[in-house]
Structure 1
Amino acid sequence: MELFNRRTALRGALAVAATPFVAGVASADVGALAFVQKWAPNPGSVGLKAFVGIEDDRSNSHPSATHIFAESDQYRFVMHKSDRDGSDRQRQEVRAIQTGSTRHDMKKGETWRYNYQMYIPSSLKGTTSFTHIFQVKHTGVASPVVTMSLFRSGSTETVEMRLFGAGQAKLGSTPLAPLRNKWIDVEIEIKVADGSGSLRFALKDGATTVVNASRSNFDTWLGGTQAHPKWGIYRSLGDSAQLQDTYLLLRNMKAYRNE
């Protein structure tokens, strides 16, 4: 009985250590989901080896420039107006995560949590077409599972999730302007499953939680053998008036798996 209690206490401690920052989530609610940290790269020492794939100017449209950097304590994604990834879009992204030679992919039925901080400058605009800054993808499947994107409707810009397995339904839309030019906290928790998948999306500006949105029982498994995250800037050329030379910064990146 004593050994059982110690194991129970340890499992509870792991769950509390990974407790979401979102207000209103009691530790009892998280106790059934013990998240174990699988990935926490140091950009200064690991560099871009934290990622399986580096999609820096895949079409060689701007060969004189480097667009994706590992700096001392952050990752920088640079996008120029002239950059191209095909005739109608731009892409500077990293794909999938690893520690050394060990990949950390999402398998069917698993629940993963991604925590990081993000800095969006004034030059990175929301657009009427797609401007993605996070995706979950399956290898060999064209459609993303979910995307975090910057959108524009009239003069209003927003950050929001789109759920492609639920007809591109929006989740957690919030104004972009108050979140610019500062570090904001991001938490994405996703269960990848056929029909019974779920997603929770949270944003925190300092001590204020500005988004805490979730949806369950939709399709987050679109095919293949694994899913993986992507970060960076992937945008259409369709809303050309909003496109500028710009960048995106990420730091304190961590990934946890429910075990």
Structure 2
Amino acid sequence: MKKITIIILVLSYKLCVCQVLLDANGQGNTYEEITQVLAPGYNPVEVPDCNHSIFGRHIDEIFDTSLNVYVFRFILHTTPDNDRCLNFDRQRNEIKSYDKSPDNLLGIENEIVEYKWKFKLDIGLQVSSNFTHIHQLKSVGGSLASMPMYTLTLRKSNPDRIELRYAETDTQITLKQTDLTPLKGVWIQAIETIKYGTNGTYKIVLKKVSDDTELFSYTNNSIINWRTGADFVRPKWGIYRSLKNSSDLRDEEVLFANFSIEELSTLSNNNEQMFDDKIQLFPNPSKNLVKIKEGISDSYTSLKIYNNLGQEVLHQKSNLKIIDISEFTLGVYQVIFQKNKKNIAIKKLVID
């Protein structure tokens, strides 16, 4: 007989709500692996295959001897690759989360999210004097959606450089830049932490995987990270480059590994005080159904349940007062209550 235990979770700003991982496994179904994590049943892969089908897939997996794991290889050819047969002055080979992705892969206002990944640029990498983006955080919704909020871009110069670009509205500025040379030919660990909001914070650190040497960093503890009319912010990784000076370029490969999206905090102090102790789950234990008791009427409008891998297993878009857990496997789950798309309470559910 299954034993169901409901545990009230005491929250703080350092609480990890959930973490989603994307790792190469070498089995060959690369697009399917990426899709299963970033947008199950949809298409989070933006590749130039439509105009270069004879080559095959432009993201595959290879075994890397320095990391001793399989990694993702993103491939672009100077010709004939373009931007999904939509734009022909640029090339795109990227993966992303978007509106079809699970909500825990989308940054929302007042949420703190940590993005981690590894990447390796070839020692002979050639970049555009216009842009060669390898990572973006893009705001979706509102009039400024076409302009990325943060961008890591590589630019031809003397010497070539890596730039961290930022746009509060529709104009980008360079927050910091440095010589690209030390970042070539080695695996780099990127850790990016952002608090989304009009009183936001941002930090990024790039280190060599081999010896933990810091090669680039930037921190801002008071920066605007939310735009009027925005619905969410989504990450993108890959190669997105201009063809306006194609003579600067060559066929290119960039390696990526160990993507992680982790929600560090989603509740404000006020919301925690107002609702977290006002929502209860019972009985304890339970076999099939868990009931919800509210101390404040209509305190939530929907709920989501995540397993211990950070995968969404239930999204109930109503304030029904019963959760059917009869088909859940054994393990630890988190029940996140929302009102108007904002998290207002979290409870831990253990099924053993």
- Is the TM-score greater than 0.5? yes
In structure 1, how many angstroms separate the alpha carbons of the residues matched to 2:239 and 2:74? 7
Percent identity for Structure 1 against Structure 2: 27
Measure, in 2, the Cα distance between the counterparts of 1:81 and 1:122.
Answer: 18
Deviation digits for residues 102-155 of structure 1 (CA, Å, limit 9, x no counterpart): 6521111111111111100134323221110000113352111111110122x2
RMSD (CA atoms): 2.6
In 1, Cα distance between equivalents of 2:214 and 2:264? 23
Residue aligning to 1:3: none
2:201 equivalent to 1:198: yes
Query: Within the alignment, does 1:48 sit opposite 2:34 as a pair?
Result: yes
Shift of 1:242: 1.9
Q: Does the CA-based 8 Å contact 1:97-1:103 persist in structure 2?
A: no
CA distance in 1, matches of 2:231, 2:201: 18
| Aligned counterparts, 1:157-172, within 5 A | 157-165=160-168, 167-172=171-176
Q: 1:97 to 1:119 in 2, by over 3 A?
A: farther
Q: 2:104 touches 2:263 (CA, 8 Å); kept in 1?
A: no
What residue in structure 2 maps to residue 211 of structure 1?
Answer: 216
After superposition, what is the alpha-carbon deviation per residue over 1:59-103, rounded to whole angstroms, capped at 9, x for unaligned? x221222112245621111000011111211101001189x9665
Paired with 1:70 and 1:228, the residues of 2 have a C-alpha distance of 24
Is 1:178 the counterpart of 2:182? The answer is yes
Q: Tell me if the contact between 1:119 and 1:180 (Cα under 8 Å) persists in the aligned partners.
A: yes
* 1:62 maps to amino acid: H
Alpha-carbon shift at residue 197 of structure 1 (Å): 2.4
Residue ranges of structure 2 left out of the alignment (5+ in a row):
1-8, 64-69, 266-352
Instruction: Give the CA deviation at 1:174.
Output: 2.0
Aligned equivalent of 2:75:
78
Q: In 1, are the aligned partners of 2:183 and 2:215 still within 8 Å (CA)?
A: no
Q: Which has the higher helix share?
A: 1
Contact 2:200/2:224 (<8 A) preserved: yes
Structure 1 unpaired stretches of 5+: 1-6, 12-31
The normalised TM-score by structure 2 is 0.59
Q: d(CA) in 1 for partners of 2:224 and 2:53?
A: 39
| 1:243, distance to aligned residue in structure 2 (A) | 0.9
Which amino acid letter does the alignment assign opposite residue 214 of structure 2? T
Q: How many residues get paired?
A: 228
Name the larger-Rg structure: 2
Deviation at 1:173, TM superposition (A): 1.7
Letter of the 1:47 counterpart: E
Secondary structure of 1:114 counterpart: strand
Counterpart CA distance in 2 for 1:69 and 1:164 is: 32
Alpha-carbon distance in structure 1 between the residues aligned to 2:185 and 2:92: 22
**1:221: how far off?**
2.2
The higher-RCO structure (CA 8 Å, 6+ apart) is 1
1:1-259 to 2 correspondence within 5 Å? 32-44=13-25, 47-49=33-35, 50-52=37-39, 53-57=44-48, 60-65=50-55, 66-71=57-62, 73-82=70-79, 83-85=81-83, 86-96=87-97, 104-139=105-140, 141-153=145-157, 155-165=158-168, 167-194=171-198, 196-205=199-208, 206-222=211-227, 223-259=229-265
Structure 1 pair 238/106, CA: closer, same or farther in 2 (3 Å)? same
Flag the 1:70–1:177 CA change in 2: closer, same or farther, 3 A: same
Please give the alpha-carbon distance, in whole angstroms, between the structure 2 residues aligned to 1:251 and 1:128: 27
User: Could you tell me how far 1:256 is from its partner in structure 2?
Assistant: 1.5
TM value normalised by structure 1 = 0.78
Q: What letter is aligned with 1:76?
A: R
Conserved in 1, the CA contact under 8 Å of 2:18 and 2:104? no
